[in-house]
Structure 1
């Protein structure tokens, strides 16, 4: 793909590389996909912003996983913003779109609707989980909540857990009459054979930062790319007037930007009656009875997409009888 290629850039992730700096990256744009994610729930503004930021981070990070894998972000805290969870499902085949879903749990009584959301997460952790498919143990990396945003948490995660200098520049918001738009750039220094020696870093609480990992000429290259990224404007990030290819030329023309095939992204959920039934298979008939409504059914709702399921309690659990019909 050449930098002059014209494609529909909304709901895409564009991978690129800066050849002079030995840095890789992605540019992401979300529009209709983010609208669909947020339309599933009537979130207060601070929670909407957290979900939007987490979704944007997820598509930027998830673009690198292999076909049919799943990458999840989990942000948990002891504050009123208790949980933000996202899933990125890699394409099932070359050329197919990736899918993303996101959901948040919060305490209505404790949430300050006039305050930013990040400060209401409290103490907790930022985790990335990669599911490589059946027969493979999921990979999980965890770092404490640190910094002033979810993007800063993600930067800390990559420095601390992966020892990869990483930088995010994100912008997101609701445009009157046009819905939600979000856009961002991710920079990541190419991995080296010899990782940084373990030890205390210069970040919050002794956590590692990029400056602890890249030094000398590599550090100069990294700092130069970050200085250029600092000049990006909100309108350039979220579009749609500035195409991602044009943005890369504006920011990094002296760094030799080279782009690869863009990845389309859409909202998608993998919930099903079979998966709900499987999740309840560990319970006894006595346990299932406690979940049964006065109408004699067991109900379940998907937090991500709002799908509603109803089951005959006699068909659930490890003491289940022959399965009956399910309603969704």
Structure 2
């Protein structure tokens, strides 16, 4: 693909490389995905903003996941927003859309009038990659650091992966004339591939809470390239990231034309949940009939709700657990 060509701007992730800097990255834009995620819940605005930021990070990071792999991002916190969880499902075939889903758990009575990240207390940021059946999932965890979820992700890559990483994100509600308000998000991710482990050269951690920072991982020519690319990214404006009238390719030309940007095939993404009645039944198959009885409502049913998409499942308890005799034919 040449840089002069246009691609669909909404709900895509465009990978690119800066040939003069040994840096690669992604440009992402989400709107329909966020609508699919957020309309399932009635989140307060500060929680919506956190979920939007987390979904955008998930799209940018998840683009590197191989076919049929699953990436999960999670924040666990002692603050009013206790948890944010997102899943990215790699496409099943080349050219198909990846799928994203997300949800948050929070204490409404503890939310404040502060900024979205103020609703998160001490805790951790985690990334897990599931490569499929028979493979051991990979998981990395770092403490929450910085003043945003993007800062937490940057600290994760520096500390756990030793990869200098930078995010520039923008998200909020669109207020275009004549169009109902809805959430949009856009962002750029940069990542420098180091030639050696920073621990081999005795790097000192200069990030928040004694964690490694991207600047600790590169020096010499690599450090100059990284600093230059970051200075160029500092010039990006919010409207360039989320606005509907500039394509990712045009944005890359504006920001990095001196770095010889080269783009690759764009990855479409959409909202998608993997819940199903079969999965609910499978999760309950480890329980005895006595256990199932404790889960049964006064109406004689076992119910379950998906936290991601809000789907409701209503099942006959006689058909559940390892002692069940069969299904009741419900298609709830």
What TM-score comes out, normalization by structure 1 length? Answer: 0.97
Aligned position for 2:296:
292
Superposition deviation, residue 195 in structure 1: 4.7
Aligned position for 2:7:
7
Q: 1:199 to 1:289 in 2, by over 3 A?
A: farther
Please list the CA deviations of residues 141-168 of structure 1 after superposition, one character each: whole Å capped at 9, or x if unmatched. 0000110000000000000000000000
Aligned position for 2:154:
155
C-alpha distance in structure 2 between counterparts of 1:192 and 1:326, whole Å: 57
Superposition deviation, residue 199 in structure 1: 6.7
Q: 1:321 to 1:192 in 2, by over 3 A?
A: farther
Superposition deviation, residue 239 in structure 1: 2.1
Q: 1:321 to 1:199 in 2, by over 3 A?
A: farther
5+ residue gaps, structure 1:
none
Aligned position for 1:93:
93
From 225, 229, 235, the counterpart of 1:231: 235
C-alpha distance in structure 2 between counterparts of 1:301 and 1:63, whole Å: 29
Aligned position for 2:136:
137
Aligned position for 1:260:
264
Q: Contact 1:201 / 1:209 at 8 angstroms: preserved in 2?
A: yes
C-alpha distance in structure 2 between counterparts of 1:263 and 1:17, whole Å: 15
User: What is the DSSP-based 3-state SS (H/G/I as helix, E as strand, rest coil) of the residue aligned with 1:109?
Assistant: helix
Q: Say how many residue pairs are matched.
A: 327
From 201, 210, 231, the counterpart of 1:206: 210
C-alpha distance in structure 2 between counterparts of 1:196 and 1:282, whole Å: 45
C-alpha distance in structure 2 between counterparts of 1:202 and 1:166, whole Å: 15
Find runs of 4+ consecutive structure 1 residues off by over 6 angstroms.
none
What TM-score comes out, normalization by structure 2 length? Answer: 0.96
From 252, 263, 275, the counterpart of 1:248: 252
Please list the CA deviations of residues 221-266 of structure 1 after superposition, one character each: whole Å capped at 9, or x if unmatched. 0000000000000111112111110110110010010000001010
Q: Contact 1:81 / 1:117 at 8 angstroms: preserved in 2?
A: no
Where do residues 1-328 of structure 1 align in structure 2 (5 Å cutoff)? 1-112=1-112, 114-176=113-175, 177-197=180-200, 201-328=205-332
C-alpha distance in structure 1 between counterparts of 2:293 and 2:111, whole Å: 34
5+ residue gaps, structure 2:
none
C-alpha distance in structure 2 between counterparts of 1:203 and 1:315, whole Å: 54
